[in-house]
């Protein structure tokens, strides 16, 4: 019989238990890591975890041919020109032929990434000419080409030795041979073969980091939540899968911002882990299925409440722009919670509250937010023909040619009435507006008239607790009574605004053709580059929902101008010895996305 108090036995059992637990834990972590690597996009396991943006892009030539159908003749020519330049810089200038050297063994996708590295040899400065450039097509910092087997990757790498078009140097890092081009006044590339992967970078430091990642450092593939969230937006005919590293992008935005943010504010802006997006080519445009999620240890949680808004049904069919949501007060509170730490935030909450108090005598927290807990919808509606026929001195100045309508489901009608009574009084006493009770289409409204002439705003009730407020051109008669032909019934709205996720927490619609491209409104003239790009887009739709306490799901659709065949009549500057071929579309085109923290 064993003695109960045998010290040696107790120590032995403790040691054995410790090693068993450590072994089980280590095996579990190893198994989890390998499952993540197995399910992650091909090549993502080589991309350092702190990369700013990573994309897995299809090499299917049919998808690239479809992509070239979108846009105007001008944007198609610019697209083709930039792809040709990418092929020339990456392949032709280094003695490679895509069809002969790369294509035969290339996998179905390639991976590219952009990293934060101030010493990159890649020059990204604007060109002296003013020709149109597609902003997404820039050479990435890192390209991972998955080949069929390690022999194919090494064969391509070894070919660099025999090239006469460039000088090639060689060095070894952690046992891995690296080939580096050596040119003057141009980008120098570093290449390495890591198993079946051929890696190309624009900076020697990056290829070293990739080798570190290959040998065990953390990669994007094991980023918390990445593989799991990406699996929720899988789609057929996927053109690309993109990952945005929100903490890293927020940090860069803070550094480049003119606003000085203390460290604690920057830390607060980094609660979000990332955004994963699946890009789908559809017959009339490009769809983006996206999901954003918080860090595992984030203290922030989302309130899961989705209910399809009924208010957009109040807007007429000719509405130019519409945005709706489930809770106006909550939307503001969420914005206010992060705006102070977001260098890209257009309005600081404290400044807005102070301005509201100073100009109108309203307290945002006491007078407005308490009754704004219901759904809302905001729209831009074009002016009626009757307005356009008015004498110039009776039109709002300046004449936009449209009015803004806000509809809110009030959670407390009495509080809403008191707030608007204070607002009416402020307009009369402080700014000498005429405030009068009148009727429009047999329904009572309050109208504000500027001392300079012309009604600029109205407010009142639709039915029940639904408040409306209009500003600018007199458009109240388009929502009073409810129009027979509504925005949500139009074919464009139904085609552009995604019907998923459902139920949703908000939607957005923008008719770019009528709002911007046709110059029907009195808007500032855009720079020619931006104008040319916008003319390639017809409409935009957006739908968002709270997925769970830690993630949001949102879908975007861009309806684009489309031609049956790409128009390449615009002169294309290429190397004289190179003839543009459709296959260049498989080289390394990539979306260079603006650094903007997402919702």
User: What distances in angstroms separate CA 130 from CA 126, 446, 529, 532, one per listed residue?
Assistant: 9, 51, 8, 12
Per the CB < 8 A criterion, the answer to whether 236 and 263 are in contact is no
User: What pLDDT is stored for residue 16 in this prediction?
Assistant: 56
Average pLDDT, the chain: 79
Task: Specify the DSSP class assigned to residue 340.
Answer: T
Per the CB < 8 A criterion, the answer to whether 554 and 306 are in contact is no
Lowest-confidence segment of 297-311, 408-422, 463-477, 487-501 by average pLDDT: 297-311
Per the CB < 8 A criterion, the answer to whether 417 and 408 are in contact is no
Confidence band (pLDDT; 50, 70, 90) for 336?
A: confident
Backbone angles phi, psi at 92, to 5 degrees: -60, -45
CA distance 201 to 245: 19
Confidence band (pLDDT; 50, 70, 90) for 598?
A: very low
The residues facing 248 across adjacent strands are none
Lowest-confidence segment of 74-78, 556-560, 580-584 by average pLDDT: 580-584
Is omega for the bond preceding 335 within 30 degrees of 0, making it cis?
no
How confident is the model over 93-128, as pLDDT tens digits? 777 788 888 888 888 999 999 998 654 444 444 444
DSSP for 72-108?
Answer: -HHHHHHHHHHHHHHHHHHTGGGT--IIIIIGGGB-S
Per the CB < 8 A criterion, the answer to whether 68 and 80 are in contact is yes
Instruction: Give yes or no for residue 396 having a pLDDT over 50.
Output: no
How confident is the model over 344-361, as pLDDT tens digits? 677 888 888 999 999 999
Task: State the DSSP H helix or E strand holding residue 200, giving kind and residue range, or none if neither.
Answer: strand 197-201
Per the CB < 8 A criterion, the answer to whether 487 and 317 are in contact is yes
> How is residue 190 written in tokens?
């570093």
Confidence band (pLDDT; 50, 70, 90) for 252?
A: confident
Q: Regarding beta strands 190-194 and 272-282, do their DSSP bridges make them parallel or antiparallel, or are they unpaired?
A: unpaired
Q: Looking at the whole model, is its pTM more than 0.85?
A: no
| Contacts (Cβ under 8 Å, ≥6 apart) of 426 | 359, 360, 361, 362
Instruction: Give yes or no for residue 421 having a pLDDT over 90.
Output: yes
CA distance 176 to 398: 66
Backbone angles phi, psi at 46, to 5 degrees: -100, -5
Task: Specify the DSSP class assigned to residue 410.
Answer: -
Crossing angle of the two packed helices 413-431 and 349-360, in degrees rounded to 10: 60
User: What distances in angstroms separate CA 457 from CA 83, 389, 423, 461, 580, one per listed residue?
Assistant: 50, 19, 12, 14, 57
Nearest to 238 by CA among 274, 202, 199, 279: 279
User: What pLDDT is stored for residue 557 in this prediction?
Assistant: 95
User: What pLDDT is stored for residue 14 in this prediction?
Assistant: 56
Lowest-confidence segment of 60-64, 396-400, 441-445, 554-558 by average pLDDT: 396-400
Please give the radius of gyration of the chain, using alpha carbons only, rounded to the nearest integer.
29
Confidence band (pLDDT; 50, 70, 90) for 263?
A: low
How confident is the model over 124-177, as pLDDT tens digits? 444 445 677 777 777 889 999 999 889 888 888 887 666 655 677 889 999 999
DSSP for 7-70?
Answer: HHHHHHHHHHHHHHHHHHHHHHHHHHHHHHHHHSPTTGGGSBTT-SEEEEEE--HHHHHHHTTB
User: 154-187: string of b/e by CB count within 10 Å (b at 16+)?
Assistant: bebbeebeeeeeeebeeeeeeebebbbbeeeeeb
Per the CB < 8 A criterion, the answer to whether 437 and 444 are in contact is yes
Task: State the DSSP H helix or E strand holding residue 555, giving kind and residue range, or none if neither.
Answer: strand 551-560
User: What pLDDT is stored for residue 584 in this prediction?
Assistant: 31
Number of helices (H) and strands (E) in the chain: give both, helices first.
Answer: 15, 20
Confidence band (pLDDT; 50, 70, 90) for 489?
A: very high
Lowest-confidence segment of 117-121, 247-251, 312-316, 317-321 by average pLDDT: 117-121
Lowest-confidence segment of 39-43, 506-510, 541-545, 560-564 by average pLDDT: 560-564
Q: Higher model confidence: residue 162 or residue 491?
A: 491
DSSP for 222-283?
Answer: GSTTHHHHHGGG--TTEEEEEEEEHHHHHHHHHHHSSS---HHHHHHTT-EEEEEEEEEEET
Average pLDDT over residues 265-285: 83
Per-residue HEC secondary structure of 522-545 comes to CCCCCCHHHHHHHCCEEEEEEEEE
Q: Which long-range contacts (CB under 8 A, 24 or more apart) does 302-306 make?
A: 302/546, 302/548, 302/549, 302/550, 302/551, 302/552, 303/330, 303/546, 304/546, 304/548, 304/549, 305/505, 305/546, 306/501, 306/503, 306/504, 306/505, 306/545, 306/546
Backbone angles phi, psi at 245, to 5 degrees: -85, 95
CA distance 83 to 580: 9
Instruction: Give yes or no for residue 386 having a pLDDT over 60.
Output: no
Per the CB < 8 A criterion, the answer to whether 433 and 443 are in contact is no
Average pLDDT over residues 485-511: 93
CA distance 452 to 445: 21
User: What distances in angstroms separate CA 69 from CA 39, 123, 295, 485, 557, one per listed residue?
Assistant: 32, 30, 39, 33, 16
């Amino acid at each position: 019989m064993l003695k109960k108090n045998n010290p040696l036995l107790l120590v032995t059992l403790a040691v054995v238990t410790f090693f068993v637990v450590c072994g089980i834990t280590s095996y579990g972590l190893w198994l989890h890591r390998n499952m993540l690597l197995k399910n992650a996009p091909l090549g993502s396991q080589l991309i350092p975890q702190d990369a700013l943006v990573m994309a897995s892009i299809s090499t299917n030539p049919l998808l690239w041919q479809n992509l070239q159908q979108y846009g105007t003749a001008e944007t198609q020519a610019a697209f083709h020109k930039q792809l040709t330049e990418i092929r020339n810089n990456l392949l032709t200038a280094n003695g490679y032929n895509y069809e002969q050297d790369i294509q035969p063994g290339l996998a179905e996708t390639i991976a590219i990434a952009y990293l934060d590295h101030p010493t990159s040899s890649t020059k990204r400065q604007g060109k002296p000419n003013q020709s149109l450039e597609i902003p997404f097509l820039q050479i990435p910092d890192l390209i991972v080409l998955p080949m069929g087997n390690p022999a194919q990757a090494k064969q391509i790498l070894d070919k660099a030795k025999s090239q006469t078009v460039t000088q090639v140097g060689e060095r070894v890092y952690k046992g891995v041979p690296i080939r580096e081009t050596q040119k003057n006044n141009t980008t120098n590339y570093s290449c390495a073969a890591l198993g079946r992967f051929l890696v190309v970078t624009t900076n020697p430091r990056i290829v070293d980091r990739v080798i570190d990642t290959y040998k065990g450092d953390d990669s994007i593939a094991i980023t918390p939540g990445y593989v799991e969230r990406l699996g929720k937006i899988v789609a057929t005919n996927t053109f690309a899968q993109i990952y945005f590293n929100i903490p890293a992008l927020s940090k860069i935005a803070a550094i480049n911002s003119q606003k000085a943010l203390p460290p604690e504010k920057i830390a607060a802006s980094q609660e979000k882990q990332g955004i994963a997006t699946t890009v789908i080519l559809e017959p009339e445009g490009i769809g983006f299925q996206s999901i954003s999620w918080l860090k595992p240890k984030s203290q922030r949680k989302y309130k899961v409440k989705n209910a399809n808004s009924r208010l957009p049904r109040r807007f007429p069919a000719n509405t130019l722009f519409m945005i709706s949501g489930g809770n106006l007060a909550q939307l503001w509170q969420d914005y206010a919670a992060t705006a102070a730490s977001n260098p890209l935030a257009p309005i600081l909450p404290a400044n807005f509250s102070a301005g509201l108090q100073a100009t109108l005598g309203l307290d945002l927290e006491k007078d407005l937010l308490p009754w704004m807990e219901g759904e809302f919808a905001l729209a831009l509606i074009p002016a009626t023909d009757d307005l356009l026929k008015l004498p110039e001195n009776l039109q709002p100045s300046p004449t936009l040619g449209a009015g803004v309508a806000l509809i809110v489901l009030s959670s407390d009608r009495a509080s809403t009435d008191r707030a608007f009574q204070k607002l009416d009084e402020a307009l009369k006493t402080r700014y000498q507006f005429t405030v009068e009770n009148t009727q429009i289409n047999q329904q009572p409204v309050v109208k504000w008239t500027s001392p300079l002439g012309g009604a600029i705003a109205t407010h009142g009730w639709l039915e029940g607790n639904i408040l409306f407020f209009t500003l600018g051109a007199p458009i109240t008669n388009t929502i009073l009574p409810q129009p027979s032909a509504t925005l949500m019934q139009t074919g464009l709205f139904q085609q552009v605004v995604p019907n998923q996720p459902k139920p949703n927490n908000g939607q957005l619609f923008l008719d770019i053709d009528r709002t911007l491209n046709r110059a029907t409104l009195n808007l500032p003239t855009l720079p020619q580059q931006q104008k040319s790009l916008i003319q390639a887009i017809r409409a935009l739709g957006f739908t968002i929902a709270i997925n769970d306490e830690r993630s949001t799901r949102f879908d975007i659709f861009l309806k684009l101008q489309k031609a049956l065949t790409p128009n390449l009549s615009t002169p294309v500057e290429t190397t004289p010895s190179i003839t543009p071929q459709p296959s260049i579309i498989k080289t390394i085109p990539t979306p260079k996305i603006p650094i903007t923290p997402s919702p």
